[in-house]
Chain A
Amino acid sequence: MKEILLVARQELWINLRRPGYILMTLLIPAMGVVVLLIGAAFGGEVGTFLESQFAPNQKGIGYVDQSGLFGPPLPHYQGYFTPYPDEASARAALLAEQIDSYFLLPADYLQTGQVVFYSTGGGFSTFAAADSEEIRSFLVEQLLAGKVDPAVQNRVRAPMDIRAVTLNASGEVRTENPFSWIGDFVVPYIFSILFIVTLFTTSGFLLQSVSEEKEGRIIEILLSSINPTQLLAGKILGLGAVGLIQVLVWFGAGAALLIAAVALFALSGVINLSLGTVALGLVYFILGYLLYATLFAVAGSMGTTQRESQQIAGIFSLAAALPWMVIGFIFTNPDLPIAVAMSYIPLTAPVMMLIRLGFGQVPAGQIALSLALLAVSIALSLWAGAKVFRTGLLMYGKRPGLKDLIQAFKQA
Chain B
Amino acid sequence: MIEVENLVKHYAHVKAVDGVSFTVAQGEIFGLLGPNGAGKTTTIRTIMDILKPDSGTIRLLGQPVTEASKARIGYLPEERGLYKNFQLLECLTYLAALKGMPRKEAGRRASALLERAGLEEYARRKIKELSKGMAQKAQFLAAIVHDPDLLIMDEPFQGLDPVNTDLLKRILLEEQERGKTVILSTHDMNQVEELCQRILLINYGKAVLYGPLDEIKARYAEHAVILECDGLPEGLTGVQRVEQHNHTCELVLEQETSPQAILRQLVAANVAVRRFEVATPPLEEIFISVVQRVPQEEVQ
Contact = CB atoms under 8 A, between A and B. Distances in A.
Interface string B93-110: 011011110000000000
Contacts of A404: 12
Given A6-B97, A225-B99, A220 B50 contact: yes
Q: Is the interface of B mostly helix, strand, loop or mixed?
A: loop
Given A223-B50, A224-B50, A216 B94 contact: no
A3 interface: yes
B69 to A, nearest CB: 12
B71 to A, nearest CB: 7
Contact of B52 (A225, A226, A411): A411
A92 interface: no
Contacts of A319: none
A235 to B, nearest CB: 13
A394 B50 contact: yes
A111 to B, nearest CB: 77
Contact of B70 (A14, A220, A225, A394): A225
Given A225-B70, A404-B12, A217 B50 contact: no
Interface string A124-144: 000000000000000000000
A217 B77 contact: yes
A222 interface: yes
Contacts of A221: 75, 77, 81-82, 95, 142-143
A89 interface: no
B211 to A, nearest CB: 28
Interface in B78-101: 79-86, 94-95, 97-100
Nearest to A394: B50
Contacts, number: 65
A251 interface: no
Contacts of B99: 225
A218 B83 contact: yes
Q: Is the interface of A mostly helix, strand, loop or mixed?
A: helix
B86 A14 contact: yes
A407 interface: yes
A2 B101 CA distance: 11
A6 B143 CA distance: 18
A117 interface: no
Contacts of A14: 83, 85-86
Contact of A218 (B49, B73, B81): B81
Nearest to B79: A217
A227 interface: yes
Contact of A224 (B52, B75, B81, B97): B75
A84 interface: no
Contacts of B52: 411-412
Interface string B29-51: 00000000000000001001111
A403 interface: yes
Contacts of A407: 12
A14 B85 CA distance: 9
Interface of B: 12, 45, 48-52, 67, 70-71, 73, 75, 77, 79-86, 94-95, 97-100, 142-143
30 contacts: A2-B100, A6-B97, A6-B98, A14-B83, A14-B85, A14-B86, A213-B83, A216-B81, A216-B82, A217-B77, A217-B79, A220-B45, A220-B50, A220-B75, A220-B79, A221-B75, A221-B81, A221-B143, A224-B50, A224-B70, A224-B73, A225-B98, A225-B99, A226-B98, A394-B45, A394-B50, A394-B51, A407-B12, A411-B52, A412-B52
Q: Across chains A and B, which 8 residue pairs bring their CB atoms closest together, nearest first? A: A217-B81, A216-B81, A217-B79, A220-B77, A225-B98, A224-B75, A224-B48, A218-B81
Given A213-B83, A224-B77, 10 more contacts: A2-B100, A14-B83, A14-B85, A216-B82, A216-B84, A217-B81, A221-B95, A225-B95, A227-B67, A396-B79
